[in-house]
Amino acid sequence: MEITTSSIRGLAHRCEEFLDDRGESSAISYPGSLALCILDSVYSTGSHPNAVDNVVDRYIARHGREDGAKSLRYSIAAAGGAEVWAEQVVCNLKPASTHPGAMLKAEVVDQATRLMAEYGIDTVTDLLETLVDEPSPGRSTTGLAGRWRDLPSQRSGISWKNLLMLAGSPHFEIDYRVTNCIAEVAGFGIDVTDDYVLVLIEEVADVLGAEEREVRRIVWQLSHRRLLSKRKPASTAWRYGLDADSDVLVEVGVEGWHGGAEAADPAWDHEWTMPYSTPGASGAAPF
């Protein structure tokens, strides 16, 4: 496999914004709270990042940063149900899809906490230990991932993959959004396979001195618009030793890895995954 230094520079420039000088990531994760992982994963689908941040911040203001799935379920019950909780605790009444009569995202969150209870899962550690027995989080699984996808408006699995990233799972499923993100930096005519994505991320992690799993999380969240870049396109000023005035092939290879990329399907089970409205565009403002 051949990867160019310009591709490495391009992706590194996009990821560097979310890494400090020690290679520590500012990508979004909640290693100490499954409640926050569930909230973020469900609310992030089809929502502006600021709206998701507001939901999480309001919950933290009420309950702190360490709640498990059980405490989240109790919070909803104590409020008098999902609709009242959505209105009074997180102040977000967004529906789970664009279909008329769709249930609120808060109701999906409530069902997700009950699903976790069925599997005896309360903490992030519980979730990660359960996933060890599920080698594939793909659509065909009959385990927890499959049950999550059976939740209302969650068939595409985007929220499930969000959950894995937020919880720190090593699972990294390359979907069409990740592929499109990589294609933007790889250049015209490059066959962006799953192996290409993984190797490019590995090379970028090495260049930036960061953990590979953190670069994967950044790439996922950038691809799915959970993170928004505020940087301008990369300039020729580069401090990582890759010559910006030339484009050199870097020969690398991957053995023993089998990807699970899913084809893009705009009608994929009708889950609401359309981008949020951008500033100045028509449509409802994020809330």
pLDDT tens, residue by residue, 80-121: 999 999 999 999 999 999 889 899 999 999 999 999 999 999
Same structural domain, 73 and 152: yes
The pLDDT, as a whole number, for residue 229 is 86
Q: Write down the pLDDT at residue 140.
A: 53
Same domain, 69 and 163: yes
In this structure, are 231 and 108 located in the same domain?
Answer: no
Question: Within this chain, do residues 105 and 122 fall inside the same structural domain, yes or no?
Answer: yes
In single-letter form, the type of residue at position 256 comes to G
* pLDDT exceeds cutoff 70 at 5: yes
End residue of a domain, out of 132, 147, 167: 167
User: Is 130 found in the same domain as 57?
Assistant: yes
Assess if residue 266 is contained within a domain: no
Mean pLDDT in residue range 192-197: 94
| 275 found inside a domain | no
Residue 249 per-residue DSSP state: E
The mean pLDDT value of the chain amounts to 83
Q: Is the pLDDT of residue 23 over 60?
A: yes
Based on the domain organization, do 126 and 62 belong to the same domain? yes
Phi, psi of 2 (to 5 degrees): -120, 125
Same domain, 13 and 115: no
* Residue 264: inside a domain: no
Give yes or no: residues 56 and 157 share one domain. yes
**Are residues 46 and 84 part of one domain?**
yes
Domain boundary among 141, 167, 193: 167
Distance of alpha carbon 202 from its chain centroid, rounded? 18
Asked if 98 and 137 sit in the same domain, the reply is: yes
Q: Positive or negative, the Cα torsion across 268, 40, 30, 222?
A: positive
Least confident interval from 23-37, 168-182, 214-228, 246-260: 246-260
Whether residue 142 is predicted with pLDDT greater than 70 in this model: the reply is: no
| pLDDT at 186 (0 to 100) | 85
Q: Do 71 and 9 reside in the same domain of the chain?
A: no
The total number of structural domains in the chain stands at 2
**Percent of the chain topping pLDDT 70:** 77
The per-residue pLDDT for 131 is 87
Q: With respect to residue 126, please indicate whether it lies within any of the assigned structural domains.
A: yes
**pTM reported for the whole predicted model:** 0.81
Domain annotation covers residue 267? no
- 220 occurs within a structural domain: yes
Q: Which domain holds residue 150?
A: 34-167
Interatomic CA distance for residues 279 and 277, integer angstroms = 7
Q: Are residues 110 and 225 in the same domain?
A: no
Q: What is the mean pLDDT of residues 243-271?
A: 44
Question: Is there a domain that residue 274 lies in?
Answer: no
Please compute the mean of the pLDDT values over residues 203-230 and round it to a whole number: 94
Closest CA to 170 of 178, 158, 179, 161: 161
